[in-house]
Amino acid sequence: MPAGRSTGRPRSGSRALRRAERRRRLRRTILGTTALIALTVTAYTMAPGNPEVATVADGRGAPPTERAPEEASAGSPAPGSPAPRQSRRATAEPSRGHTASPSAPASPKASASAGPSAPAAGPGVFTASTVAGQAQGKGPARSWRVEVEQGSGVDANAAARAVEAVLGDPRGWIRDPAYGFRLAGPGQPVDFTVKIATPSTTDRLCEVLTPELVGETNCRAGHTVVVNLKRWQEGSPQFSGTVEEYRALIVNHEVGHELGREHETCPGAGQPAPAMMQQIKGLLGCTSNAWPFDAAGTYLAGPRVP
């Protein structure tokens, strides 16, 4: 072997190999760590419960559009969403608040001829009846006609015939031979007028000031019999008969004033209330009655109210 040549690897070469090996291990470690981090991030982003990812995946990155005020009411579905499923029970059963008790007796006012609820006010303009009638009763015929307030829903001619039937009833004022009536035709002079008016107009015509009577009562003002539309349509809570019977009471009572009759009161418990009694204020033990006379021709009187 030549002098001066070494038989082993140089020390500098061994160190270089070790450094190179350490770098390779470091690179493998870094690459492995990076791959692990990438896999973790991917698994997280693909999780189904992540709303941000769902937004991106569905292409709805923009914020949701606000609904118009009419769409924002409680219970209204968002645009494009299916309508909520309706409860079968709610559909099959009506609201209890609108269901009448099956054991409650029917009101005597709930007859087929009862009209709709009366409007509270009207224009104060009236339409006159155009039909005419024959003289009724043995006494001098007082002529009259009906006028109904516009917008009341009452037909003037139909109302005139209804009033004519009341005035011509044998239990009415014509039972007294001193009285008679006749429905006047168009353009004919009248002795008195029957006005059917809304509660507000009635209060004005009758100058009603008593709080409990505001909007509720009828009256006679001069030679005008003012019939409250509410009472004509609905009757009275104090009167146990039908609406038609209460209309008869209104006519007989107010026309009685036109004839000069004064108020009377209950003659005794269980007896018929006089037609000239203010029955709307209470019966005081009497029974409801619409007519001045009974079927036998007896005047149903009561003590005069001072």
* Mean pLDDT of all residues in 100-111: 32
**What Rg value do the Cα atoms of the chain yield, rounded?**
47
Q: Does a structural domain hold residue 296? A: no
Query: What is residue 299's three-state secondary structure?
Result: strand
Q: Does a structural domain hold residue 117? A: no
> How sure is the predictor about 96, in pLDDT bands with cuts at 50, 70 and 90?
very low
Q: Does a structural domain hold residue 78? A: no
**What's the pLDDT score for residue 5?**
43
CATH for 133: 3.40.390
* Mean pLDDT of all residues in 263-273: 97
**What's the pLDDT score for residue 24?**
73
Find residue 179's DSSP bridge partners: none
Q: Does a structural domain hold residue 288? A: no
The Cα 83–Cα 122 span in angstroms is 44
The Cα 48–Cα 71 span in angstroms is 30
The Cα 252–Cα 276 span in angstroms is 8
Written as six digits, the tokens of 134 are 């024959």
The Cα 195–Cα 290 span in angstroms is 19
Least confident of 42-51, 248-257, 263-272: 42-51
Least confident of 48-52, 161-165, 223-227: 48-52
Count other Cβ atoms within 10 Å, centred on residue 139: 16
Q: What is the DSSP code (8-state) at residue 212?
A: G
* Closest to 254 (Cα-Cα) out of 148, 109, 111, 144: 144
Instruction: Give the total number of structural domains in the chain.
Output: 1
Strands 192-197, 224-228: pairing is parallel
- Could you read off the pLDDT of 158-210 as tens digits, one per residue? 999 999 999 999 999 999 999 999 999 999 999 999 999 999 999 999 999 88
| First-last CA distance in the chain | 163
* Domain extent at residue 220: 126-263
The Cα 259–Cα 188 span in angstroms is 21
Count other Cβ atoms within 10 Å, centred on residue 46: 10
Q: What's the CA dihedral at 155, 158, 161, 165 to 10 degrees?
A: -110
CB-based contact 155:204 (threshold 8 Å): no
* Closest to 251 (Cα-Cα) out of 158, 168, 148: 168
Q: Does a structural domain hold residue 77? A: no
**What's the pLDDT score for residue 28?**
67
The Cα 137–Cα 173 span in angstroms is 8
**What's the pLDDT score for residue 10?**
47
Count other Cβ atoms within 10 Å, centred on residue 121: 16
CB-based contact 41:33 (threshold 8 Å): no
* Mean pLDDT of all residues in 130-146: 97
Residue 128 neighbours by CB under 8 Å, 6+ apart:
145, 146, 147, 156, 186
Supply the mean pLDDT for the chain. 75
Q: Does a structural domain hold residue 75? A: no
Whether residue 111 is predicted with pLDDT greater than 50 in this model: the reply is: no
Q: Does a structural domain hold residue 54? A: no
Q: In residues, how long is the chain?
A: 306
Q: Does a structural domain hold residue 249? A: yes
